[in-house]
Structure formats: structure tokens, C-alpha cells
Amino acid sequence: MLDNNLIKVFEKQQTPFYYYDVDLLERTLDAVNHEAGKYGFHVHYALKANFNDRLLKLVQAKNLGADCVSGNEVLKALETGFDASKIVFAGVGKSDSEIDIALENEIFSFNVESIQELEVINQLASEKKKIARVALRINPNVDAQTHHYITTGLDENKFGIKVWELEDCITTLKELSSVKLIGIHFHVGSQITDLKVFRSLCVKVNELNNWFEERGHYLDVLNVGGGLGIDYHDPDKNSIPNFAAYFETFDQFLERKPNQEVHFELGRAIVAQCGSLISKVLYVKKGIKKNFIILDAGMTELMRPALYQAYHKVQQLSGNGNRERINYDVVGPICESSDCFAKEVPLFETKRGDLIAIRSAGAYGEVMSSRYNLRDEIRYVFSNDN
């Protein structure tokens, strides 16, 4: 929660910057471990959500694994203390050099997305005289009912192996001596708030788990991905997602074979609420039909509203007083009309220098920031900074 006690801290900082609530992150991680631990589930943190070094070290200290989607993410996970035996490497387009990095460090598993990728990993592993552990990422054709840019589990998406390709996969695996099939992997999308989506996923996973067993492949791992959403509209009321209901859904509907492990890859649900983008009002433009607040932060600091038309709560941190409420479009300084955080936001009458927080920005905020318009690199502040 951002309260008046933080204003004096923020006023001493050069805006814009990301503010990370370390206590909230630790409580979120404790909730993940507690709820997943009830069922013996394994959780990997998805680095793509936020790979700030200090955040990663906090996550690693809570004994989570790492879910990586690039060779550099694999290296970052290792640098920040994650054990290679807890690192999974996903991604639809792994380069040879990235695969080599993962092979050299003997990570837990590759989440493989095509037959051709299986063949490439086998070749590179063979050259290194190694055996690569792989899980087949299968596209289950489950609708995540979320934004079309972050839906990944439909037949029309580029991700995963299609169900009708599995027979060919089995045939190919028999011919490859340097890969070992350990499981199957799924990820249907992101910012999923309807748990019925995960029930539907469980049905597909159960079918495919049986399909492999019928063909003599007894899988050690069912990796069901991530995708659990957060409450962008009320980040203080629901600062920690309902992990209890999330993990209970999989416990109830997933049919595990004896000794099968269930793995998850959570990113947004862990770090989104602990981060806020703190900005300062540069100018106020009042018009007949529109009023604008122009911030010193823009799409270069937080891309999600411009890219996904995503909602983030805009919170006024200073200057409330007895001012009247006015509707504002909250925009940034970038030379793009898409550089807009929110439209028609009712705020107390705003003036130059007021502090504004863009909430729930701990996921896909800092990591997607850019130097477009030759902007300064984004800064960040932690709640436990001295």
C-alpha cells in the first residue's frame, strides 16, 4: 500500500522510478510456498516478468525455481543463485548458442516447442556428449479468455506442438539418443482470472498424460505453466492473489500418476503488485473536451497500456487537499499518441509537481522499458533501502 508516509521518501528521488515493496513481495512468496507446499507442487518463477537482480535474489532465497525464455535469462538465473536443477528453458525460438548455454549448465529441462527443435537439441547435446532432458510443450487449444496478445494456447498461436503432431514426436524421440523425455508442458496464456480456464486445462492434461502412458511413456513431470492473473483495479484490497484457490484447482482436477511431479511457472502473480511506477506531473493542459496530465514517465517506462491497452490504477500521492475532482487523460512525454496510461481518470485538481503512482507495475514494467526518444535508463527504489 502506498500511503502519505512514503511521499517524503519519494520527493527526495529523481522521477520517474520504480518503487518495489519488499515486504509485500516476501509475503507473496510465502503465500506461494505455503499453498503449493500443501500438494508438493514445484514452482518456477518466470524471469520475463521482472529480472531485477535484487528481486531475483529475494525469489531465489524462498527456494523457487526459475523459468527462462532466453539464454541470457538462464545465465541471469544462475548468477543470482538459482540452482541449475531448478531451471527450465522455454521459448518458441531458442538459438543454437542459447541451447548450448543451457546444455553446458545442465539445467533441469528444456520445454520443447517443435519436432525440429527436438532434433536440434539432440544434435547439440550429442556434440557435447550430454543427455538433454526435455518436456514437450503441447498446445492444448484451450482459450485463456484474456487479451489476444497474451493468449498462447490456441491452435492459431505460434506456441507449442499441436496434438496431431504427437505421433510424429514419439517416432522422432525413438530415433534421438541424446534427449530424454521427462514430461509434458503447457501454458495457455497470461492474466487469467477465471479458474475455469485452469479446470479446462486439467482435462486436456489428463487426456494427454493417459495418451503417453498408453504408448509406454511414463512421464515424471506435468508442467502446467502459469498465467494466474492479479487485481489491477484494487491492488490494495487484493495485493496477494488467491493462490489457495489456484493450487487447489489443480489438486482437484489434475489426475497425477504415482510419483509424478507437478510444476508451475508463475511470474506476474508473484511480482506485479509489489511494484509501482512513481512519476511527477510536468504540465497540466485544460481544454474544452479534454484535460491532460503530462507525466515525466511514459510508454518508455511502462509499455503495457500502449501495447495491450492494459489498465493500471492511477493513484494521486500528493496535492489532494480540498481541490475539486476533474477527469484527466494521464499521458506521458513520448512523441507517440499511444503514450497514454489512462483516459478520463477522476482525480483531485492536479498541478505541476504532484506525485502520481501507476500501480501494479512490478511485472512487465521495468523489463519492457526502453531508451526510445533517447530516454534515461529507468531507476528503481526499494522499500528497504537505507
Residue 183: which of 144, 141, 138, 152 has the closest Cα? 138
Name residue 97's beta-bridge partners.
Answer: none
Q: Are residues 126 and 157 in the same domain?
A: yes
For residues 157 and 290, membership in a common domain is answered with no
Confidence tier at 146 by pLDDT (50, 70, 90)? very low
In the chain, % of residues over pLDDT 90: 87
Angle at 144 between CA 197 and CA 226, to 5 degrees: 80
Q: How many CB atoms sit inside 10 A of residue 134's CB?
A: 24
Q: Give the DSSP letter of residue 228.
A: B
Last residue of a domain, one of 272, 307, 334: 272
The rounded distance, in Å, linking the Cα atoms of 3 and 133 is: 48
Task: Give pTM, 2 decimals.
Answer: 0.94
The domain that holds 88 is classified in CATH as 3.20.20.10
Where a domain ends, among 246, 272, 298?
A: 272
The separation between the first and the last C-alpha atoms of the chain, rounded to the nearest angstrom, is 19
How many residues would you count in the chain? 386
Q: Could you tell me the CATH number of the domain that includes residue 325?
A: 2.40.37.10
- pLDDT tens digits, 205-259: 999 999 999 999 999 999 999 999 999 999 999 999 999 999 999 999 999 999 9
Mean pLDDT, all residues of the chain: 93
Domain match, 79 and 126 both:
yes
3-state per-residue secondary structure call for 254-313 = CCCCCCCEEEEEECHHHHHHHEEEEEEEEEEEECCCCEEEEECCCCCCCCHHHHHCCCCC
pLDDT in tens, 314-342: 999 986 666 788 999 999 999 999 999 99
146 and 101 in a common domain? yes
pLDDT at 155 over 60: no
Task: State whether 281 and 296 are in the same domain.
Answer: yes
242 lies in the same domain as 296: no
The count of structural domains within the chain is: 2
pLDDT at position 150 over 50: no
The answer on 200 and 261 residing in a single domain is yes
- Which of 230, 251, 272 finishes a domain? 272
Tell whether 301 and 224 lie within a shared domain. Answer: no
Do residues 268 and 278 both lie within one domain?
A: no
**Domain with 146 in it:** 22-272
Do 282 and 258 reside in the same domain of the chain? no
Q: Are residues 320 and 359 in the same domain?
A: yes
> Are 27 and 46 in the same domain?
yes
Quickly state the pLDDT bin for 2 (edges 50, 70, 90): confident
Q: Quote the CA–CA distance of 247 and 83 in Å, as a whole number.
A: 24
